[in-house]
Amino acid sequence: MNKNNITDIFFDLDNTLWDFDKNSNLTFIKIFELNELDIDINIFLEAYHPINKNYWDLYRENKVSKEKLRFYRLADTFKKLKIEIGDSMIKKLSFDYIDYLSDFNNLIPGAIEILEYLDNKYNMHIITNGFKEVQKKKLEKSTITKYFKTITISEEVGYKKPNPIIFDYALKKANAINTSSLMIGDSYQADILGAINVGINAILFNYHNIDPNDNIISVSTLSDLTSYL
């Protein structure tokens, strides 16, 4: 990647700029308290996270609907923990979770600093998989919308990363050229391989501490991006 050729930077949102894991955990604490559920939050979250990840993988591959993802990621967690919760309460929790998620807006350490550093140097954009009403609230309430010229949300496009259609859509929306663009995200599959497959440069924000391919640029903190940009 020649940094002198880069004009446009596309950021992922969750666990790249917006601290999804932390904010999600805080949301569950809040909605359990609101619904007077006496459940050990740490035990719940330990079971929930891998189940949620699996459902998001299925959702990305169009193998499960938005509604089923929201319901069954909770239902399967309670089932695994052998906690009897009625369907009506699970539905309420699924809606409460979406309603309150954007009340918490912790960002990944260094997010504001790197956006300030890159601002006025590059055209910056968002490409995110997720639900439009939730992703827009996250951006607005965390006060980082101002940094981005375009925002591309998978639910609005009808295709999710790593599908090339969403990247092509984002490039067109941004009036950007693939070879002069850079994707930064935490998902090796969705963000990095998805971008590379359409000729976009990519840097992995290695939030999940994976061992990427040797040809992939990887950073462990957002501040490390200054070495490449």
At 180-228, the pLDDT tens digits run 999 999 999 999 999 999 999 999 999 988 887 778 999 999 999 999 9
Question: Which listed CATH number (3.40.50.720, 1.10.150.240, 3.40.50.2300, 2.40.50.140) goes with 20-101?
Answer: 1.10.150.240
**135/120 Cα distance (integer angstroms):** 24
Cβ pair 72, 79 in contact under 8 A: no
Q: Out of 5-14, 107-116, 202-211, which region has the weakest mean confidence (pLDDT)? A: 202-211
Half-sphere exposure of 204 (CA within 13 A, CB side): 21
Quote the percentage of the chain above a pLDDT of 70.
100
* CATH 3.40.50.1000-classified regions of the chain: 3-19+107-227
- Residue positions counted in the chain: 229
* CATH 1.10.150.240-classified regions of the chain: 20-101
Count other Cβ atoms within 10 Å, centred on residue 38: 6
> In the predicted model, is pLDDT for residue 171 greater than 80?
yes
**62/156 Cα distance (integer angstroms):** 14
CATH architecture of 3-19+107-227: 3-Layer(aba) Sandwich (3.40)
pLDDT tens string 47-95: 999 999 899 889 888 899 989 999 999 999 999 999 999 999 999 999 9
What is the pLDDT, as a whole number, of residue 222?
98
pTM: 0.91
